Amino acid sequence: MNLSFGATHRALLVAVACSVFTTGCLEKMGLNAFLGATRDGSHSLNTFQDFEIAREATAAGLGQLEGMHKLAPWNEDGLFMLARGWATNSYFFAEDSYEEAVAKGDAPAANYHLRRARAGFVRSLYFGQELLKRSDDGFDAATQDAGAMSAWLDDNFESDEDALRLLWVGFSWVEHAHVSKELKDVQARLFVGLEMLKRSLEIDENLEHGMAHTLLGAYGSDLAENEKHFKRALELNDGGFLPTKLSYATTFYCAKSDKAAYEKLLGEVLSATDAIPAARLPNTVAKRRARRYLGAPAFQKSCGFS
């Protein structure tokens, strides 16, 4: 460990203060260290190729994180992991169960899993908004319109850590809208998530293999701009992050009723090799969905394909 004299001196002062005033200070330091280390190691989940093990590990991890947050509500690593964890659990697993039920024509099960997915995104946003409010308390006022939101984000978020937070809260925001199509109030506030994603990529467009571009391509309102985002994401991840091609097919080419391009891209997802080991789990999920979208009539019909 290489600490400067100043850093060593500060660490010593903290330790002395803790020992003099309260054991609670040492407990707080321990919780902060544990959550920081947990966040550092949490990326390993994305290297899993086994969908079922990843699902079980995610559920167990969320239970532990909820308990740690109860003990350390001040800790921002904990808030970040809960925002990201609930969002990925809904997207990877609850939505997958929903789609399986749709493919089988099981309406009660589909409704149940859709509500699960929606509830997970809501919980993710609870923690995500709390995290963003640590930077500035003007979040609620800023969500009144796109201009106010953009200005608030520009004024308060500029670091690499800010970009990562905005990416995941923005992801949860737009995906919550995706599973809540009949809720007009949710749809009316889609712009909040889109503005977060725009600010995130302004700071660092490379995060999570260009994921902000992929999401803006999927949920933007202008098809021409959406395609630019998809193409930029593919440039950044060299086509190895399969959710980009999956979203490109199921949003852009679905909207254009281009069945040939739709099937071509989904075919590329299915035939892809293990190009990005750090993205095995999202790529595994993309392959599951591509196979479903090509084979289940319900998903073909939703794009207007016969």
Q: Is 12 helix (H, G, I), strand (E, B) or coil?
A: helix
CB 274 within 8 A of CB 280: yes
Q: With left for phi above 0 and alpha for psi between -120 and 50, is residue 273 left, alpha or beta?
A: beta
CB 54 within 8 A of CB 281: yes
Instruction: Name the nearest CA neighbour of 161 among 204, 219, 117.
Output: 204
* Amino acid identity, position 169: V
| Cα angle 294-296-302, degrees, rounded to a multiple of 5 | 85
- Which regions of the chain are under pLDDT 50? 1-17, 19-21
Q: Which residues contact 246 (CB under 8 A, 6 or more apart)?
A: 265, 266, 269, 286, 289, 290
Q: Tell me: the pLDDT tens digits for 263-287? A: 999 999 999 999 999 999 999 999 9
Q: What is the DSSP letter of 279?
A: G
Domain 50-204, CATH homologous superfamily name and number: TRAP transporter T-component (1.25.40.920)
At 106 the pLDDT is 98
Domain boundaries, the chain: 50-204, 206-291
Distance between CA 97 and CA 90 in Å, rounded? 10
At 26 the pLDDT is 61
* Amino acid identity, position 75: N
At 6 the pLDDT is 45
Q: Tell me: the pLDDT tens digits for 244-255? A: 999 999 999 999
At 22 the pLDDT is 57
